[in-house]
């Protein structure tokens, strides 16, 4: 079964990452990532955190 992530899910994932950033006391701007067509959200955000 293929996982389909739509814009609503991407938006929710971004909100979650921003909340995590605020809890850690980090600047949430660091967690923003470039929006791509059919973005997968979590992997893109994880890549930004690892960077």
Which pLDDT tens digit goes with each residue over 1-51?
A: 566 667 778 888 888 888 887 887 765 555 555 444 445 555 555 555 555
The model carries a pTM of: 0.36
Number of domains in the chain: 1
Q: What is the per-residue pLDDT for 45? A: 52
Q: Is residue 41 part of a domain?
A: yes
* C-beta of residue 49 within 8 angstroms of C-beta of residue 31: yes
Q: What is the per-residue pLDDT for 38? A: 47
40 is written with which tokens?
A: 């997968």
Distance CA 36, CA 51 (A): 18
Side-chain-side CA neighbours of residue 16 (13 Å): 10
> What is the span of the domain harbouring residue 39?
7-50
Distance CA 17, CA 32 (A): 9
Q: Is residue 1 part of a domain?
A: no
Q: What is the per-residue pLDDT for 14? A: 86
């Amino acid at each position: 079964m293929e996982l389909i992530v739509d814009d609503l899910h991407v938006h929710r994932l971004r909100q979650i990452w921003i909340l995590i950033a605020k809890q850690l006391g980090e600047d949430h701007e660091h967690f923003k990532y470039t929006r791509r067509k059919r973005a997968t959200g979590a992997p893109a955000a994880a890549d930004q955190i690892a960077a």
